[in-house]
Amino acid sequence: MLVLVVVAVILMILAGIALIVKMHKNAMEDNLKYEMFYFPNFPMTFKEITIFFISDIHRREVSPAIVEEAKGIAELVIIGGDLLEKGVQFDTVRSNLRKLKEIGPVFFVWGNNDYEADIEKLKELFSEENVTVLDNRSVSFTSPKKQKWHLAGIEDRSLEHDDLEMALQGIKKSDFKILVSHNPKVMEDLTDDDGVTLVLSGHTHGGQIRILGFGPYEKGTTKVIGKTTILVSNGYGTTSIPLRLGAKPETHIIKIQHTKDKRI
């Protein structure tokens, strides 16, 4: 009887170790998802824009394979917050930014964990690497025929650094705009009068570890709420422990086109 108990315990330990190894392997995966959106208010003269979106890098090093796949496809890069966390070396951050810059110009919004770093040193790094920080502000892109679309970003909502009104200041309601918010709860603040067509977000890690399909947050998804579409990413890295289960890491190639009668 004692032998059977010992064997059972050993098997349980081995199964636990195997599960942890698998969870770590899952956390280190490089998954690039392709997303296609059609919006009737997207300016036709742009024909198409293509964005590489990555959120919640935390302690990970961006894979060269991901960069190579996105190069020549995406026109710009958006980092949806949590580029780092406490303890991450700035040399690692600089390396990640330089890899992402190979894809295109880089735009960044603050996440809650980014504030754990030396903020002034991080801002200095952004300046040195020509990263555009969307700290409650927007940038505009203009076509040769003078049509515009706008990319707005807000600081972290959970720490109450966000200012949606300032981020959208000066943008016409009818203009096509993308809002980047690390925290998807920004949807609670948006109204139809804000005229935001697409929100890009992360923060939740898709729950990171889901047991029998259940987790503290829902898996990354795309949904339409009111007149706004929101994409919530599972994110690229992990928080607390480098393990994932049932919520694989992901980055995104997002293509946007105009349509008069179709929207997904």
Residue of 5 and 231 predicted with greater confidence: 231
pLDDT digits (tens, 9 = 90+) for 241-260: 999 999 999 999 999 998 86
Query: Which residues contact residue 165 at a Cβ distance below 8 angstroms, ignoring those fewer than 6 apart?
Result: none
For the ranges 125-129, 141-145, 207-211, 244-248, which has the lowest average pLDDT? Answer: 141-145
Q: Does residue 228 surpass a pLDDT of 90?
A: yes
Among candidates 162, 165, 156, which has minimal Cα distance to 195? 165
Predicted local confidence at residue 7, as pLDDT: 62
Quote the pLDDT of residue 4.
66
Give 124's Cβ-side CA count (13 Å radius): 6
Is pLDDT of 88 > 70?
Answer: yes
User: How many Å apart are CA 171 and CA 176, to the nearest integer?
Assistant: 9
Which structural domains are found in the chain, ordered by start? 2-258 (3.60.21.10)
Provide the pLDDT for residue 264.
Answer: 41
177 bridge partner residues: 150
Q: What is the pLDDT of residue 261?
A: 44
pLDDT at 263: 43
Question: For the ranges 145-149, 162-166, 175-179, which has the lowest average pLDDT?
Answer: 145-149
CB 113 within 8 A of CB 87: no
pTM score over 0.85: yes
pLDDT category of residue 5 using cuts at 50, 70 and 90: low
Express each pLDDT in 36-45 by its tens digit: 999 999 998 8
Tell me what the pLDDT averaged over the chain comes to.
92
Residues 194 and 175: beta-carbon distance below 8 Å: no
> Which phi and psi (to 5°) does residue 255 adopt?
-105, 135
Find how far residue 188's CA is from the centre of its chain: 19
11 versus 102: the higher-pLDDT residue is 102
Q: Say if residue 72's pLDDT is above 50.
A: yes
- Of 4-13, 21-30, 175-184, the range with the lowest mean pLDDT is 4-13
